[in-house]
Chain A
Amino acid sequence: MLKVIQNRIEQGCKTSNYPLEPINLYHRYRGLPVIDSECSLDIVQRCADICPQDAIQVEAKTIDLGKCTFCGQCEVEGEGAFARFSEDFGLGAANRGDLITQGTLPDLAAHSKQEFKKLFGRSLQLRQVSAAGCNSCEADTNVLNTPFFDLSRFGIDFVASPRHADGIHVTGPISKNMRQALLDTYDAVPSPKIVIASGCCSISGGPFYGSDEIIGDLNSLIPVDLYIPGCPPHPLTTLHALLKFFKQG
Chain B
Amino acid sequence: MDNMLKITNGQAIARASIPLVPFESFFTSLSTFVKNDGYIVQFFAFTEEDKNFILAVVRNSDLYVISTEVGSIFQSLTGQVSEKFHMFEREVAEQYGLRPDGHPWLKMVRYHPNYTGYPDVFDNDYAEEIPGNYSYFQVKGEAIHEVGVGPVHAGIIEPGHFRFQCAGEEVLHLEIQLGYQHRGIEKMLPTMPMKRMPIICEAIAGDTAIGHNLCLCQAIESLAGMQIEPGASITRCIALELERLANHIGDLGALSGDVAFNPPASYFGRIRGEFLNLLQVLCGNRFGKGLVRPGGVAHIMGEEQRQLLRDKLAEITPEIEHVCDLLFTAHTVLARFEHTGTVSKEMASDLGLVGYAGRACGLAYDARVAFPTECYQDLPANSNKVTDGDVNSRAWVRREEIMHSLQLITMLLAKHEALMEEEKAVQTRPVNLAADSFVVTVNEGWRGEVSHAILTDRQGDVQRYKIKDPSFHNWTGLAMSLRNQGISDFPLCNKSYNLSYCGFDL
Q: Which residues of A contact B (CB under 8 A)?
A: 3-4, 6-8, 10-11, 14, 25-26, 28-30, 50-53, 69-73, 76-77, 85, 128-143, 145-148, 158, 160-162, 172-173, 175-181, 184-185, 201, 206-208, 210-214, 231-232, 234
Contacts and interface: CB of A to CB of B under 8 A. Distances in A.
Contacts of A136: 203, 206-207, 209, 286-287, 289
A148 B299 CA distance: 27
B131 A177 contact: yes
Given A135-B206, A147-B266, A73 B428 contact: yes
B173 to A, nearest CB: 24
Given A134-B204, A207-B203, A175 B180 contact: yes
Given A71-B289, A146-B270, A130 B159 contact: yes
Q: Which of B203, B207, B277 has the most CB of A within 10 A?
A: B203
A4 B156 contact: no
B179 A29 contact: no
A14 B206 contact: no
B289 A69 contact: yes
Nearest to A162: B152
B273 to A, nearest CB: 6
Contact of B188 (A7, A179, A210, A234): A210
A45 to B, nearest CB: 15
A212 B115 CA distance: 12
Nearest to A53: B199
B203 A134 contact: yes
B269 A147 contact: yes
B95 to A, nearest CB: 13
Contact of A132 (B129, B195, B200, B502): B502
B206 A232 contact: yes
Nearest to B267: A11
Contacts, number: 212
A4 B425 contact: no
B158 A138 contact: yes
A50 B155 CA distance: 38
B206 A134 contact: yes
Contacts of A207: 196, 199-200, 202-203
A198 B280 CA distance: 20
Given A180-B129, A207-B196, A138 B323 contact: no
Contacts of A162: 152
Given A177-B129, A177-B131, 7 more contacts: A7-B263, A52-B193, A134-B206, A135-B502, A140-B276, A140-B287, A177-B112
Interface of B: 110-112, 129-131, 151-152, 154-159, 179-185, 187-188, 193, 195-196, 198-200, 202-207, 209, 250, 263-264, 266-267, 269-270, 272-273, 276-277, 280-287, 289-290, 298-299, 308, 319, 322-323, 325-326, 329, 425, 427-428, 500-502, 505
A170 B402 CA distance: 32
Contacts of A85: 284
A138 B264 CA distance: 21
A40 B47 CA distance: 47
A210 B189 CA distance: 11
A127 to B, nearest CB: 8
Contacts of A29: 280, 284-285
B184 to A, nearest CB: 3
Contacts of B129: 176-177, 179-180
Contacts of B131: 177
A157 B425 CA distance: 41
11 contacts: A3-B329, A10-B319, A50-B427, A52-B199, A130-B156, A134-B203, A136-B289, A178-B181, A181-B159, A212-B184, A232-B286
A76 B203 contact: no
Contacts of B130: 177, 180-181
A228 to B, nearest CB: 14
B212 to A, nearest CB: 10
Contacts of A147: 266, 269-270
A213 B182 contact: yes
Q: Which 7 A-B pairs have the closest CB atoms?
A: A136-B206, A213-B184, A160-B154, A134-B206, A28-B284, A146-B269, A134-B203
Contacts of B198: 52
Contacts of A232: 206, 286-287
A70 B284 CA distance: 9
A130 to B, nearest CB: 5
Contact of A146 (B159, B273, B281): B273
Nearest to A31: B284
Nearest to B319: A10
B269 A72 contact: no
A7 B323 CA distance: 7
A112 B79 CA distance: 59
A179 B263 CA distance: 38
B281 A28 contact: yes
A61 B451 CA distance: 40
Nearest to B110: A177
Contacts of A72: 284, 290, 298
Contact of A141 (B152, B156, B184): B156
Contacts of A206: 203
Given A4-B326, A28-B284, A161 B289 contact: no
Contact of B183 (A11, A160, A181, A214): A214
Contact of B207 (A52, A53, A139): A139
Contact of B180 (A77, A177, A184, A208): A177
A6 B267 CA distance: 13
Nearest to B425: A76
B461 to A, nearest CB: 17
Contacts of B273: 143, 146, 148
A142 B267 CA distance: 15
Contacts of A214: 183-184
A132 B289 contact: no
Contacts of A160: 154-155
Given A132-B181, A181-B180, A71 B156 contact: no
Contacts of A52: 193, 195-196, 198-199, 428
B290 A178 contact: no
Q: Which of A161, A162, A213, A231 has the most CB of B within 10 A?
A: A213
B320 to A, nearest CB: 11
